[in-house]
Structure 1
Amino acid sequence: MVRILRGLAHKYFSDEEAVILFLLLVAGTFFIIWFGAMLAPAIASLIIAFILQGLVVKLNRLGVPETVSILGVFLLFLGALVGVIFGLLPLIWTQVSRLAGEAPRIIRETQSYLELLPDQYPQLISAEAIDTMYQQVSTEVGQLTQWLVSFSLSSIPDLVALLIYMVLVPILVFFFLKDKEELLGSIARLLPPQRPLMLKIWHEVNLQCANYVRGKALEIVIVGGATYIAFKLLGMPYAALLSLLVGLSVVIPYIGAAVVTIPVAMIALFAFGWGSHFIWVMVVYGIIQALDGNVLVPILFSEVNNLHPVAIIVAVLFFGGIWGLWGVFFAIPLATLLKAVFAAWPVKEVPPPPAGELG
């Protein structure tokens, strides 16, 4: 056992800088686990600034002065934030409330569909299973409706915190953009003066994660916008709500698309019934998903190392279990970061054991 541990230490931690980096990663992970909720505005601001920095760099390459680039990008961010708060969120909330009000009708129609299944497929589905499923659906929808009714009273403290975040986040984003070099210099002074390994890993992580995070942000906007336009043209109800779900679903490859297809199909079915209109909605939705996976993703993520589907599912389960919804949302960027760290980590060959230990 000691020999195995010694071999692992020699292979992965023979570099002193690697040991320091490992301790920093462990300390940073526990710090986020314990203080992540408290520092949520700072973490969100850092991620937003990280996304916007790419646009600042591109403007600098076009000859725009850095101060003008930062100010222009920040004003663009403020405009988008105001548009989301006063334009998109009220529309989404209205559609969610309306959907909750129509929940009883949807439940009744669902029951009528389900009651036909035991007669059509008696070998596969029993009446008892349909009753159990119906009761579960009714309970979940009832709880959702009750939550929506009590939301305005029970969530006043959350709304106050949200208002504070809406003030803090733009301020922090501005200073992260404006004082990036100074902040990075302060962190660098805490690290060893000679750190080629850390610089190599930082370059790899910055390349992979920056391309991934910025690409995903653009993919969300494109897929969500295309879905909204298509659903509005087709007369699909709750187009804004569904397009938001479809846009956010691209954050979790495979799983997100499979999950969000269910509400899209159900609402289309209840709105149009079995017929050509329902088929057209699903065909257009399928085309958007196909174009996203086969055209948009290769263009946006040509420089990013793809993760295996098993790695994606494991990352979603692991980080979702640690941080809940936020863990699910950031599972793929975190997995990409870990893959970049492992790819750049120094590995030394383990020397063969002495001749006397062979056999």
Structure 2
Amino acid sequence: MEGISRMILDSGRWFWLVTGSIAVALLYILAPILTPFLAAAFLAYLGDPLVDQLESWKLSRTLSVTTVFLTIFLLLLLFFLFLVPVLETQVKLFLNKFPDYLDWVVNVLGPYLQQNFGVDTSVLEVDKIKTVIASHWKETGGFIRNTIQTISKSGFVVLGWVANLALIPIITFYLLRDWDRMVAYIDDLLPRSIEPLVAKLARESDEVLGAFLRGQMSVMLALAVIYSIGLSLVGLEFALLIGLIAGVVSFVPYLGLIVGVAIAGIAILFQTQDVFNLFWVLAVFGVAQMIEGTILTPLLVGERIGLHPVTVIFSVLAGGQLFGFFGVLLALPVAAVLAVILRHIHDTYKQSEIYGIEIDEPHLSTVGNANSKVSEAKEQA
């Protein structure tokens, strides 16, 4: 009987090992065509809590899904129709003024650096940098035009882009409509012996991933808006561009503050030549940090523990290196699950006999006597 149980246990382990290997291999092989499905799953995951909230207000599932679906894609449409052209304009304006910034560094800041720190700004080769930037921008053109030129080089590429863009909203709608049903179906398929553990790990993974995606990303978006509005009130020309950059990198604690203050401070000095304006830049970021700490983070993230910033950075880079853009989309969900599994393994290890090895009493008494002798020797010394 014991041999049969051991055989069943071994066969179960082999089953999960083979299943996991096949799943990883399929992900690697099918990565090019899975991108729209993963993007749709990402949008459905973000929208499902809103759908559930609308359902709690006595709306039907279909009506709730339709409302959330239209809201998500309306926001995406507004982003591409409004923000992308505005950001491209600001980038173009920055590149046009970049030679003037270099001249300011050489003519104004250069003598100060040379006199006080011995820094020779001639090594920057400012003229060559100007030429490279100007020629590169003229060759590539704007972001939108460059993208259109790239995808129009091949008819198959165009068809692939159109197909993927058309599939994402369709798949998102069906995933939103059947999200709860799919979760229940997967739970029903799990072996009953491991279902409680898997359900527990899945709930913790959802809390970790949700804390970052729904919470931290909302904070990042809010900070980008606050930074942009505040810097525009100060009169900074590149307020939207700098505010968006500072907001995006704010998933790393204090990095958004440091990067934003540095870029905005340098930009305001170039623009106004008045050191006093640095005070207004610091005031904008100081007020934004107060709003984040007292309102945004407690309201949007709460006490949930999301992914560590270093984990996020490594996961995105590793996913992009292994699977390209598909890997970037897959990185955060995988990192959340792995973080929860490693935490579970850590807790299991701390409660295991391996960690809590019992030491026999004679050994303890020997160690105690040795420690007491060392203490006596120190006192005599």
Question: Structure 2 length as normaliser, TM-score?
Answer: 0.72
Residue matched to 2:122: 131
Residue matched to 1:316: 313
User: Structure 1 stretch 161-170 or stretch 65-74: which is displaced more?
Assistant: 161-170
Q: State the Cα deviation string for residues 10-36 of structure 1 (Å, max 9, x = none).
A: xxxx99989877877776666656654
Is the CA contact 2:211–2:304 (under 8 Å) kept in the aligned structure 1? yes
Q: Aligned-pair distance for 1:73?
A: 0.7
Equivalent residue letter for 1:132: V
Equivalent residue letter for 1:274: D
Structure 2 vs 1, CA of residues 271 and 118 (structure 1 numbering), >3 Å: closer, same or farther? closer
Q: Aligned-pair distance for 1:114?
A: 3.7
Residue matched to 2:348: 347
Q: Aligned-pair distance for 1:175?
A: 1.4
Residue matched to 1:283: 283
Is the CA contact 2:40–2:169 (under 8 Å) kept in the aligned structure 1? yes
User: Structure 1 stretch 15-24 or stretch 67-76: which is displaced more?
Assistant: 15-24
d(CA) in 2 for partners of 1:260, 1:33: 38
d(CA) in 2 for partners of 1:15, 1:216: 42
Equivalent residue letter for 2:348: V
Question: Structure 1 length as normaliser, TM-score?
Answer: 0.76
Is the CA contact 2:209–2:306 (under 8 Å) kept in the aligned structure 1? no
Structure 2 vs 1, CA of residues 335 and 303 (structure 1 numbering), >3 Å: closer, same or farther? farther
SS at match of 2:65: helix
User: Which ranges of structure 1 fall in alignment gaps of 5 or more residues?
Assistant: 1-13
Structure 2 vs 1, CA of residues 94 and 34 (structure 1 numbering), >3 Å: closer, same or farther? farther
Residue matched to 2:64: 69
Is the CA contact 1:272–1:278 (under 8 Å) kept in the aligned structure 2? no
For the aligned residues, what is the CA RMSD?
A: 3.9
Q: State the Cα deviation string for residues 258-307 of structure 1 (Å, max 9, x = none).
A: 33443322222212223323321232123313432454223322231256
Q: Which has the higher contact order (CA 8 A, sep 6+)?
A: 1
Is the CA contact 1:92–1:240 (under 8 Å) kept in the aligned structure 2? yes
Structure 2 vs 1, CA of residues 80 and 15 (structure 1 numbering), >3 Å: closer, same or farther? farther
Q: Aligned-pair distance for 1:347?
A: 2.1
Residue matched to 1:94: 89
SS at match of 1:274: coil
Matched, 1:299 2:299: yes
Q: State the Cα deviation string for residues 48-103 of structure 1 (Å, max 9, x = none).
A: 11111111122222322222111111111122122112121111122222222222
Describe how 1:1-359 pairs up with structure 2 within 5 A. Answer: 35-36=30-31, 38-122=33-117, 125-127=118-120, 130-133=121-124, 141=133, 145-146=137-138, 148-149=140-141, 152=145, 156-158=149-151, 160=158, 163-184=162-183, 187-188=186-187, 191-194=190-193, 195-293=195-293, 295-305=295-305, 312-313=309-310, 315-317=312-314, 319-323=316-320, 335-345=335-345, 347=348, 349-350=352-353
d(CA) in 2 for partners of 1:146, 1:203: 51
d(CA) in 1 for partners of 2:181, 2:123: 61
d(CA) in 1 for partners of 2:332, 2:261: 20
Q: State the Cα deviation string for residues 101-153 of structure 1 (Å, max 9, x = none).
A: 2222222223224412334413xx421xx333455965874576356437635
User: Structure 1 stretch 291-300 or stretch 89-98: which is displaced more?
Assistant: 291-300
Matched-pair identity in %: 21
Is the CA contact 1:56–1:70 (under 8 Å) kept in the aligned structure 2? yes
SS at match of 1:83: helix
User: Structure 1 stretch 52-61 or stretch 329-338: which is displaced more?
Assistant: 329-338
Is the CA contact 2:113–2:119 (under 8 Å) kept in the aligned structure 1? yes
User: Which ranges of structure 2 fall in alignment gaps of 5 or more residues?
Assistant: 1-8, 153-157, 364-381
Is the CA contact 2:211–2:305 (under 8 Å) kept in the aligned structure 1? no
d(CA) in 2 for partners of 1:341, 1:223: 32
Structure 2 vs 1, CA of residues 62 and 317 (structure 1 numbering), >3 Å: closer, same or farther? same
Structure 2 vs 1, CA of residues 246 and 126 (structure 1 numbering), >3 Å: closer, same or farther? closer
